[in-house]
Amino acid sequence: MRKRLMVPALLAVVLVASVLAAGSQAKTDRSKAPAAPSGTVTLNGWQVSPAEETKLSKVVADFERTHPNIKVNYQSITGDYQAQELAKFAAHKPPDVLYVDVADFVDWAKQGVLQNLDPYVKSSHFSTKPFYKNLLNAFKYRGHYYGFPKDWSSLGMEVNTTLLGNNPVPKTWAQLRSVASRINVPGGKPICLSADWARLMAFVYQAGGTGQWKDATTAPFRAAANFYVGLLKSGLAALPSDLGSSWCGEAFGKQKVAFAFEGNWMFPTMASFPGVKFTTAPMPKGKRHGNLAFTVSYSMAKDSKNKPAAWELLKYLVGRQGMQQWVSLGLALPTRVDVHAVPGRGAFLRYPSSVHGWGAQAGFRHIWNDVANNELTAVIAGKESVNSMLQKIAASAR
């Protein structure tokens, strides 16, 4: 008799016990749920304009509202960003989430200071489909994601319509040269060109080049450099410093030139120069279309102490909602197809497949800053030949 009761009793006990256990387990599951990371996350970035600063604070505040357990500590870095972040990496005390400029990306990933994001992408089913392929790949290292592009800018050709007069907007290198030679700019020159490979490289792509420093001695590099320097030497173009300006945007705003090659950041800049009638056109075509993508990623540091929460922040910032808010400023372009850019940016987005990331090579910043630009200024000043410059650049890439 007792035996017969024992089994159901036992079963009942087991049943009750498991229900109770399941209940408390569910409770602990809820508190340990991977969907509720918490803690403080440090975010490091730099400011490109006062409006950006305010906007980012807003986006971060929205994130904190929807994720009440996570507190974000945003620090806007003044001074040299690279130096300060490298010091933090060296001390193994980096921020959790940080901006990484595409020019630094490969070098930093190589040093092992960035976190491989693949596991987080997988576990949270984060879709990478909406991102533009070129930009997504710019932040891949050895086939893994080490960051996601937060925004980007590309170059366009700004044209002063008043100075252009009846001339057509040039579409090719040849047209650019011929239209420029027909234009007269009082107190200035037709075109503004910077002594910077961050502009010249776009022309290299237009000449069909690879954009890799190690290929600097190839024909497309030569063609582009000769074209670029040729415009300066022939008097059709001038450097911004010779036009009383610190960059071509300023020269364009001061109406010292009819053409400038700057990016979508020109729109807020031109707000300080009201009354200038201008339009934006796509970059001219060489052998083909070519353009540069200046982009920055949100990445996670390998030594981050709170990776789950960091991922939540990162996900939000490059997610549709966060990014939509961010690009509504109109300062930079969205990196996702499901986020709409502020209208008027068509010229920059006209030939998306021709856009190449500015960077994504090892030693990029060093070669660009320490070698390539110095050699370019030498060539422009007539102190060196184009071929010699290209040889030196290729040599430093090996």
Q: Footprint of another protein on residues 185-214 (CB under 8 A)?
A: 195
AA identity, residue 334: P
Report if residue 57 touches another protein, rule: CB under 8 A.
Answer: no
Task: For residue 47, give every residue at least 6 positions away whose Cβ sits within 8 Å of its Cβ, in sequence order, or none.
Answer: 53, 76
Structure tokens at 394: 């290729």
Q: For residue 193, which of 276, 252, 270 has the smallest C-alpha distance?
A: 252
Residue 224: strand, helix, or coil? helix
Among 128, 184, 383, 395, binds another protein (CB under 8 A): 383
**What DSSP assignment string belongs to 329-397?**
TSSSB-SBTTSPPPTT-HHHHS-GGGEEES--STTHHHIIIIIIHHHHHHHHTTSS-HHHHHHHHHHHH
Report if residue 249 touches another protein, rule: CB under 8 A.
Answer: yes
CA distances from 24 to 29, 36, 333 (A): 8, 18, 48
Among 137, 178, 217, 247, binds another protein (CB under 8 A): 247
Report if residue 388 touches another protein, rule: CB under 8 A.
Answer: no
Which one of 160-168, 173-181, 237-245, 305-313 is the stretch in contact with another protein (CB under 8 A)?
237-245
Among 40, 57, 127, 246, binds another protein (CB under 8 A): 246
Task: For residue 204, give every residue at least 6 positions away whose Cβ sits within 8 Å of its Cβ, in sequence order, or none.
Answer: 211, 220, 221, 224, 225, 290
Binding mask 158-177 for another protein (x = CB under 8 A): --------------------
> β-strands 191-192, 237-238: how paired?
parallel
Report if residue 111 touches another protein, rule: CB under 8 A.
Answer: yes
CB 198 to another protein: min, Å: 12
AA identity, residue 249: G
Do 141 and 174 form a contact (C-beta atoms < 8 A)? no
Residue 172 DSSP code: B
Binding mask 260-279 for another protein (x = CB under 8 A): -----x--xx--xx------
Residue 49 DSSP code: S
Report if residue 340 touches another protein, rule: CB under 8 A.
Answer: no
Among 30, 93, 277, 340, binds another protein (CB under 8 A): 93
Residue with Cβ nearer another protein (249 or 284): 249
Residue with Cβ nearer another protein (224 or 372): 372
Q: Footprint of another protein on residues 353-382 (CB under 8 A)?
A: 363, 365-366, 369-370, 373-375, 377-378, 381
Report if residue 71 touches another protein, rule: CB under 8 A.
Answer: no
Residue with Cβ nearer another protein (77 or 349): 77
Binding mask 12-51 for another protein (x = CB under 8 A): -----------------------------------xxxx-
Site size toward another protein (CB under 8 A) is 55
Compute, in degrees rounded to 10, the torsion defined by CA atoms 267, 350, 285, 265.
20
Among 60, 109, 114, 243, binds another protein (CB under 8 A): 243
AA identity, residue 138: A
Residues in the chain: 398
Binding residues vs another protein (CB under 8 A): 47-50, 75-80, 82-84, 86-93, 107, 111-113, 195, 239, 241-247, 249-250, 253-254, 265, 268-269, 272-273, 363, 365-366, 369-370, 373-375, 377-378, 381, 383
